[in-house]
Structure 1
């Protein structure tokens, strides 16, 4: 009621510059919906109006920044918008959004540019970047701190400050993050935005040199493999036990093992599809794994519990890394699922079992440069079969003594 009386009074008595200057706390009406609101000695200008029967108040600026004439001019601008049937607040929000979009088109934020760079690259990443979580180092350590900064405004100190907390404590992660930032800056620069990739190089220089000693994956000694295999056999036909036995016998990576399917096995060959093979998109191909008699026996055991996945988890999805490594730890024998590959490779090396090329191909490693690979196209399936048969006999305790294999040996 008081506001309505104030409005009617304001129609008769408009404010003067002197009144505005001397105004105390309270509401001071100028007419046409313009009100000076003062509280605690501070004033602000408000435009009061009704739209579609709804009473609204729109702040148009502080008394310290706007004179009475300025406030009236802005009030008239928004009153004109109201006369057209538009809600002034909605119109202003739309205007500000358009201005932000215009700025973003000319000078995007680091977060927006990172997303754009990722979208441009993800077709070349395995699983379109989801498997390697390309954005993860940025999302965790960079974007929360400087993601809203415009590319042209980012200083090397901003990057340095964002990564300093993890530069030495979590250096591999920090290195991934700064490599991603470098890609983002290069992408932005090539897209024509105002930024300099040297900023990232300068930030890395400021962060300093880190002498990082990589931690090797714990691996079971090859001499302990027969004991481990026997322990797993005695524990029964649990999915985690069978998965570990399969991993020992085939020597493939964790993802390939845990996602193994019966329809990937034909006779004594298991073909791992490209979506479970480590490597860049377009640079990997399916991988054939010769199955020893023992590996085929494990597959037969698995078929008694499932007709889809060899090693299903509780929810019908592939068994987890955690479950398999937990089973391995329960045997009391040191090692990890991934470390079993090292066990095999060390067994080969210590006993001179086969050539370097055969051993590395068993592990699915790329051998030679691009030119060499263009001529040497064999996947060495038969030499690998001989080696994995010998490895299976050793793992199961059938051959206590390791005898070098002639197949695949040089000279």
Structure 2
């Protein structure tokens, strides 16, 4: 009797007499006879001769009858199939196209795919290849393992928190950069119409307060700089490395500004080094007055000319010195300082040992004036005043060097 009832129920299912929720989870799991088994809202389970089961919905879209594949039973359970079918009917009844909505959803990139796209778009505008590489590498390291495969339209605040929380206090600077870069990718997703909000911008209150005390670049006292230069000159480093490092100290320039110096930037006759805007942090051309010792360094560097145009070439023709080469030499000489820190040594000397106005030393360091009103009127680069100051700095180092006790 039970078998007969079961057969009758299955026959009704096939005939479509139950318009809504005609199927049960147990039935769709056990049915094996090939055929179509209706559930409601045009949804039916199709069982193939091979035993494969998949969901199909018969629906009218803008007056045209069509069938939509909703996926295999192994991936789409009965409850989910019903939800999708009902949503499709609502879209179709309001004049929409579920097929188009499905295609648009499928076209939404994953976070990893979107990151690569944003990286490709922004790469030409980044200052150097290092910044471009860091944008990608930090997200590959910290974001991709957790949200790389999630579509950008589905990333939630919880997802972003899952990326940031493990490193927020342990690596605060890295965490802030990762947050900013995730935000950049999601801003692009908003522009594509794939989402309305940016969870990377809305999680400030959900993260603990970071210690905002700035970690300054390590430097040495200006009285010890001459001793450092003597140690550099006496070291076994390559001549290119020694000359570049001394020039950085004498001119208070940044590492990249000096390492990438080219001969067509140097005016030996007028003792001026003009650094082009594309190599300056502020993207503004910077003239550097050269002291007599700085001119001597450039004269010595002429012996290193490999035809590449670089003043301080590396051992490989056409390649400049790396920042790591200069940092490594500094460490090997026993100095706990960053190459960038010699700018601090110069600045402190100017503050404590001279009566030079602040704006002169700030201009020598190529710092941008933050006050927009002041910057609008400050159009001079104070070159002649800076020339006197840089001569004074070089003279101080030379005088101090004469007092350094040499051993051996």
TM, length-normalised to structure 2? 0.68
Distance 1:318 1:100 in 2: 52
SS in 2 for 1:247: helix
Q: CA deviation at 1:335?
A: 1.9
**Could you give the per-residue CA deviations for residues 154-206 of structure 1, whole angstroms, max 9, x where no partner exists?**
22111111222211111111111112223333343344333312x33443322
**Could you give the per-residue CA deviations for residues 19-72 of structure 1, whole angstroms, max 9, x where no partner exists?**
x8499xxxxxxxxxx763xxxxxx6479xxxxxxxxxxxxx9679999xxxxxx
Distance 2:158 2:139 in 1: 16
Could you list the runs of 5+ residues in structure 2 that have no partner in the other structure? 1-30, 35-47, 55-70, 78-99, 404-408
SS in 1 for 2:334: coil
Q: Hey, what does 1:389 align to over in structure 2?
A: 391
Q: Hey, what does 1:154 align to over in structure 2?
A: 155
1:379 aligns with 2:381: yes
Q: Hey, what does 2:167 align to over in structure 1?
A: 166
Mark the CA change 1:324 to 1:101 in structure 2 (over 3 Å): closer, same or farther: farther
Q: Hey, what does 1:111 align to over in structure 2?
A: 112
Distance 1:230 1:337 in 2: 16
Contact map agreement 1:122 1:129 (CA 8 A) in 2: no
RMSD: 3.4
**Could you give the per-residue CA deviations for residues 300-350 of structure 1, whole angstroms, max 9, x where no partner exists?**
111112253222112121111222122222333332211111110111111
Mark the CA change 1:294 to 1:109 in structure 2 (over 3 Å): closer, same or farther: same
Contact map agreement 2:240 2:313 (CA 8 A) in 1: yes
**Could you give the per-residue CA deviations for residues 346-385 of structure 1, whole angstroms, max 9, x where no partner exists?**
1111123411100001001012533432332111111111
1:11-410 equivalent positions in 2, closer than 5 A: 21=32, 36=50, 44=52, 102-105=104-107, 107-118=108-119, 121-122=122-123, 124-127=125-128, 130=131, 133-197=134-198, 199-235=199-235, 238-267=239-268, 268-279=271-282, 284-306=283-305, 308-316=309-317, 317-397=319-399
Distance 2:370 2:32 in 1: 83
Distance 1:128 1:22 in 2: 62
SS in 1 for 2:288: strand
**Could you give the per-residue CA deviations for residues 101-121 of structure 1, whole angstroms, max 9, x where no partner exists?**
63254x443334444555555
Mark the CA change 1:182 to 1:225 in structure 2 (over 3 Å): closer, same or farther: same
Distance 1:202 1:138 in 2: 19
Contact map agreement 2:160 2:200 (CA 8 A) in 1: yes
Contact map agreement 1:127 1:275 (CA 8 A) in 2: no
Q: Hey, what does 2:38 align to over in structure 1?
A: none
Distance 2:122 2:240 in 1: 37
Q: CA deviation at 1:224?
A: 0.4
Distance 1:188 1:379 in 2: 43
TM, length-normalised to structure 1? 0.68
Q: CA deviation at 1:298?
A: 0.7
**Could you give the per-residue CA deviations for residues 60-114 of structure 1, whole angstroms, max 9, x where no partner exists?**
9679999xxxxxxxxxxxxxxxxxxxxxxxxxxxxxxx99863254x44333444
Mark the CA change 1:246 to 1:132 in structure 2 (over 3 Å): closer, same or farther: farther
Give the number of aligned pairs: 317
Contact map agreement 1:160 1:203 (CA 8 A) in 2: yes
